[in-house]
Amino acid sequence: MDLPYIKKEEDIKRVMARHSLTETEALRFDYEVGWKRKRMLFRDQVRCIAGLYTFLLGRFPNDRSKKIMINCVEFPGDGVQTTTDGFTEVSVKLDVDSYFSLSDFDKKTLILNKIDEGIVKVANEYSWEHDVFNRITAEIKERNYVNEYTWAQRSSPDRKYMAEMFCTHDIDYFSATLNIRDKKSGELIKSKKVLQERPHELIFNQYLGDLKWVTDRTITMTYQGRKKKWLIEKI
């Protein structure tokens, strides 16, 4: 999902007059000052629901589209555009200021509604059945719009403990908590938050790598050639 910048003639003329800028300079100024931050924040916030949606969808075999981009705009068109690379773009109506005034939960419900609107347009255009998309929407609602999952699980070398990286993907953050459990009983022995980042996969995925016990009491996380080590000594 995206919040593309749309040029508004009246706003550009106002910026040109106020700051003595050329049209090109005014366009850049209007985007950088008035739109860029909103766009980046929107892109981050939609990922908790959009990411959950794509996870539940999994592979969707078809010969029409590789990826769907849902553009949220003030005045959407009715058509669906397909690029030569097989990407599909569709637009849906969104009042940006109203969106940012919502509570986190209401933002999630609105995001899912806009995904549904975009998917319906594309499905109608490509003659796809709606059942699979309806099922995903229903499941997200059943989960109460919560996107949580276990990234990885590893047994200690002595088979006494289980380490798990538990992830929470919310509107304003992504967090990962390292939990150590007694393998036999499942009792939580130790828990430590080890990561909190912006809620976009391009940011937090780089820190989620290979979870590995190096001794019976020491576990490491290796990512992008770097290694983080958490000492679990008092179990």
Residue 4 placed within a domain: no
Q: State the pLDDT at residue 230.
A: 54
Domain count within the chain:
2
How many angstroms separate the CA atoms of 67 and 86, rounded? 7
Q: State the pLDDT at residue 160.
A: 92
Rg of the chain in Å (alpha carbons): 22
Domain check: are 51 and 166 in the same one?
A: no
Domain check: are 99 and 40 in the same one?
A: yes
pLDDT confidence bin for 146, thresholds 50/70/90? very high
3-state secondary structure of 129: coil
Lowest mean pLDDT among 59-73, 94-108, 126-140: 59-73
Domain check: are 155 and 96 in the same one?
A: no
Q: Is the pLDDT confidence value at 224 over 80?
A: no
Q: Which is nearest to 114 in space by CA: 1, 227, 232, 235?
A: 1
How many angstroms separate the CA atoms of 209 and 30, rounded? 39
Treating both helix axes as pointing N-terminal to C-terminal, what angle do 131-142 and 36-57 enclose, rounded to 10 degrees? 110
pTM over 0.75: yes
Q: State the pLDDT at residue 235.
A: 47
Residue 65 placed within a domain: yes
> Could you list the residue range(s) of the whole structural domain that residue 29 is in?
9-142
Query: Residue 54 corresponds to which amino acid?
Result: T
Percentage above 90 pLDDT, the chain:
62
Q: State the pLDDT at residue 225.
A: 58
pLDDT confidence bin for 203, thresholds 50/70/90? very high
Q: What are phi and psi of 171, to 5 degrees?
A: -60, -50
C-alpha angle 230-196-184 in degrees, rounded to nearest 5: 45
pLDDT confidence bin for 234, thresholds 50/70/90? very low
How many angstroms separate the CA atoms of 207 and 197, rounded? 9
Q: Is the pLDDT confidence value at 139 over 70?
A: yes
Residue 208 placed within a domain: yes
Percentage above 70 pLDDT, the chain:
94
Residue 224 placed within a domain: yes
Domain check: are 137 and 22 in the same one?
A: yes
